[in-house]
Amino acid sequence: MADGTVYLVGAGPGAPDLLTLRAARLLAAADIVFHDALVHPGTIALAERAEKVAVGKRHGEHSTAQAFINKRLVDAARKHRVVVRLKGGDPMLFGRAQEEIDALAVAGIACEVVPGITAALAASADLGISLTRRGMSRSVTFATPRVGRAEQPTDWIKPVLETDTAVLYMSAHEAQSIAAALIARGKPPGTPVAIVENASLPDVAHQITTLKALSTNGFRPLSAPVLLMIGAVYREALERPALHPYCSHQSHLSAA
């Protein structure tokens, strides 16, 4: 039998109905699904006839675990026609897809990537605040900061300092030191910050604060996915909270 195809599929930000039609079709046709632990159970359930295998966390698998996932994908494609690797958000943005794509190429296994809604777009929809705005924001930077001593702060901080709107993924546990580092490097302390947890889910929550307040008070890290969204586009929500939320969808929101 010819080898199957591995589909690297974006599961989107959380809400099962923010999956794409193509992803839903592939899940329904899948023989086996390897999914990140944080993918919504309602999304995984769309793979009605597939064997389901939970692998790793949404983000930050260790490289040994990644090598093991790579091997399992190759082995599965030797046995099955439709193999789905289901990743939170979008595979190509903080999804570590390249390691899997390269491993499949080396093994001669066909591979196709299906994009997904990344969390920053879902959080923007929840807030009712656009990442770009005429006359205010024409550049948007997504980054994963690390402020620990093991890595260079310049890896992430320069584009975040220079961009109009920044969205920081996987940064909740370091929020206080990230805010302090940005201020130390010249970002105005009054720069507005929107903190969004559980984007797209029923328990989505947000708060609007400033870099200064975040650097002083920190942020209680949660198990939920959190985004730090930084820039002038959040100033109106900071200064005139009574006019916020704009959108009915935000009636689900409460301060974190």
CB of 38 to its own copies, least distance (A): 18
- Name 16's Cβ contacts closer than 8 Å, sequence gap at least 6: 40, 42, 43, 46
Q: State which H helix or E strand residue 220 sits in.
A: none
User: Which residues, 12 to 51, sit near its own copies by CB under 8 A?
Assistant: 12-13, 15-22, 24-25
Answer for which of 31, 52, 107, 159 binds its own copies (CB under 8 A) is 159
User: Which residues, 202 to 241, sit near its own copies by CB under 8 A?
Assistant: 233
Catalytic, out of 3, 17, 31, 36: 36
Is 57 annotated in the active site? yes
Does 56 contact its own copies by CB under 8 A?
no
CA atoms within 13 A on the CB side of 8: 25
Contact stretch for its own copies (CB under 8 A) within 29-37, 101-109, 183-191, 204-212: 101-109
From CA 1, how far away is CA 49, in angstroms rounded? Answer: 20
- Name 84's Cβ contacts closer than 8 Å, sequence gap at least 6: 6, 7, 9, 26, 27, 30, 32, 33, 34, 47, 50
By rule CB under 8 A, what string of x and - marks binding of each residue 103-142 to its own copies?
Answer: -xx----xxxxxxxxx--xx-xx--xxxxxxx---xxxxx
- Name 158's Cβ contacts closer than 8 Å, sequence gap at least 6: none
Catalytic, out of 17, 57, 79, 203: 57
Answer for which of 29, 93, 107, 224 binds its own copies (CB under 8 A) is 93
From CA 255, how far away is CA 195, in angstroms rounded? Answer: 10
> Which is nearer to its own copies, 28 or 217 (by Cβ)?
28
Token code pair at residue 172? 């909740």
Answer for which of 52, 72, 81, 96 binds its own copies (CB under 8 A) is 96
Answer for which of 38, 69, 77, 160 binds its own copies (CB under 8 A) is 160
* Total binding residues toward its own copies, as defined by CB under 8 A: 72
The answer to whether the beta carbons of residues 157 and 179 sit under 8 Å apart is no
Contact stretch for its own copies (CB under 8 A) within 85-93, 174-182, 202-210, 213-221: 85-93
Is 36 annotated in the active site? yes
Q: State which H helix or E strand residue 167 sits in.
A: strand 165-168
Q: Which residues are catalytic?
A: 36, 57
